[in-house]
Amino acid sequence: MVTNKEQNFISAVVYVHNNEKQIRYFLNNVIAILQESFEKFEIICVNDKSTDNSTDKIKEVAKQSDGTLISILNMSFFQGVELAMNAGVDLAIGDFVYEFDSIDIDYELETILGIYKKSLTGFDIVSAAPYKAKRKFSRIFYSVFNSVSHNQYKLRTESFRILSRRAINRVHSMSKTIPYRKALYANCGLKLASIVYQTVQTNSSQYSKQTNNNRKDMAVDSLILFTNLASKATIIMTVIMMLATIFTAGYTVYIFALQRPVAGWTTTMLFLSAAFFGLFLVLAIIIKYLSLLVDLVFKKQKYTIESIEKL
Instruction: Provide the pLDDT for residue 263.
Output: 64
Predicted local distance difference test score (pLDDT) of residue 61: 95
Model pTM score: 0.78
CA distance 29 to 98: 14
Helix, strand, coil percentages for the chain (3-state, nearest 5): 50, 15, 30
Computed over its alpha carbons, how large is the radius of gyration of the chain? Answer: 26
Say what the pLDDT of residue 1 is.
Answer: 45
* pLDDT score of 237: 72
CA distance linking residue 167 with residue 117, whole number of Å: 16
Q: In the chain, which stretches have pLDDT less than 70?
A: 1-3, 176, 202-208, 230, 259-267, 269-271, 274, 278, 288-289, 291-292, 294-301
Quote the CA–CA distance of 12 and 26 in Å, as a whole number. Answer: 12
pLDDT of 305: 82
Can you tell me whether residue 280 is helix, strand or coil? helix
Give the pLDDT confidence score for residue 265 in this predicted structure: 64
At residue 2, the pLDDT reads 44
Angle between helices 23-37 and 110-119 (to 10 degrees): 50
Check: CB of residue 142 under 8 Å from CB of residue 132.
Answer: no
Question: In terms of C-beta density within 10 A (0-12 exposed, 13-18 middle, 19 or more buried), how is residue 14 classed?
Answer: buried
Phi-psi region of 208 (alpha: psi -120 to 50; beta: other; left: phi over 0): beta
Helices (H), 10-125: 23-37, 54-64, 80-91, 110-119
pLDDT at position 300, please?
53
